[in-house]
Amino acid sequence: MRRLGVVVPALFIAFGLLGLVLGSTAQPAAAKDDQHTVEIVSARGVINPSLAHYLVRSIDQAERDGAVAIVVEMDTPGGLDTSMREIIQRVLASRVPVVVYVGPPGSRAASAGMYITYAAHVSAMAPNTNIGSATPVAMGDGGEQQMSPEMRAKVTNDAVAYVRALAGERGRNADWAEQAVREGVNVTAQEAARLHIVDLYATTIDDLLRQLDGRTVKTAGGDVTLQTADAQAIRYDMGVVDEFLHVISDPTIAYILLSLGTMGLFFELSNPGSILPGVVGGICLLLGFYALGTLPVNYAGLMLMGFAMLLFVVDIFTPTHGVLTGGGLIAFALGSLLLFNVPGAEVWVGLSLWTILSVTLTMAVFFLLVARLVARSQHAKVTTGREGLIGLQGRARTDLAPDGMVFVDGALWEATSQDGPLPKGARVEVVGLDGLHLFVRAAAVKQDSQPVSAASH
By annotation, the residues acting in catalysis are 111, 154
CA–CA distance, 160 with 112 (Å, rounded to integer): 13
Q: Is residue 197 within 8 Å of 173, Cβ to Cβ? A: yes
How many CB atoms within 10 Å of residue 93? 12
CB proximity list for 180: less than 8 A, separation 6 or greater: 114, 131, 132, 133, 134, 135, 163, 186
Cα–Cα separations (whole angstroms), residue 145 to 12, 111, 230, 346: 46, 17, 51, 10
Torsion region of 410: left, alpha or beta (phi above 0 gives left; psi -120 to 50 gives alpha): left
With vertex at residue 26, the alpha carbon angle to CA 21 and CA 28, rounded to the nearest 5 degrees, is 130
The percent helix, strand, coil of the chain (3-state, each to 5) is 45, 20, 35
For residue 4, list its beta bridge partners: none
383 phi/psi in degrees, rounded to 5: -120, 0
CB proximity list for 141: less than 8 A, separation 6 or greater: 337, 338, 341, 350, 351
Q: What is the DSSP letter of 398?
A: S
CA–CA distance, 454 with 409 (Å, rounded to integer): 9
